[in-house]
Amino acid sequence: MWHQSVLTLRRRPRGMHLITSEIEGELGEQLRRTRVGLLHLFLQHTSASISINENCDPDVRKDLETVMNRVVPEEGPYLHTDEGPDDMPAHAKSSLIGCSLSIPVRDGSLALGTWQGIYLCEHRDHASQRRIVLTLNGCTASS
């Protein structure tokens, strides 16, 4: 079984945002019917990223934003500045974290660890909507 859809995420402020429930909601019955499989997520942007990290303590998300801002400071010197001072650092952060994930599916659920959640890492101050291509492959209960 193969299933593919595109999830459009609403605009969010700069920072790390849990999107696990939105992904599960987009997959709906397709996910619930999958006994064994793999979900691939691909973010179609170069100034945001996706990651898996702690889903419980919101301070982790704030701390990760702080860490990323220390690793990739907003003040250059950068050559690519046409889209604002946050654009080139956003590209660098996206390259460091990445734009794709693969997550196992088991018995109709994402096989994430107890404290794991899927993050949209928004690196721009004034971002647009973000799109993620979700590709689910696996065996269903009826296969």
* Half-sphere exposure at residue 29, Cβ-oriented, CA atoms within 13 angstroms: 0
Residue 118 near residue 25, CB atoms below 8 Å: no
Residue 13 near residue 121, CB atoms below 8 Å: no
Structure tokens at 124: 């721009």
Least Cα distance to 115 among 20, 13, 33 occurs for 20
Across-strand partners of 140? Answer: 34
- Per-residue H/E/C for 36-58: EEEEEEEECCCCEEEEEEECCCH
pLDDT by position in tens, the chain (length 143): 999 999 999 999 999 999 999 999 999 999 999 999 999 999 999 999 999 999 999 999 999 999 999 999 999 899 998 899 999 999 999 999 999 999 999 999 999 999 999 999 999 999 999 999 999 999 997 65
Count Cβ neighbours within 10 Å for each residue of 9-36 and write b for 16 or more, e otherwise: beebebebbbbbebbeebbeebbebbee
Please indicate, yes or no, whether the overall pTM of this predicted structure exceeds 0.85: yes
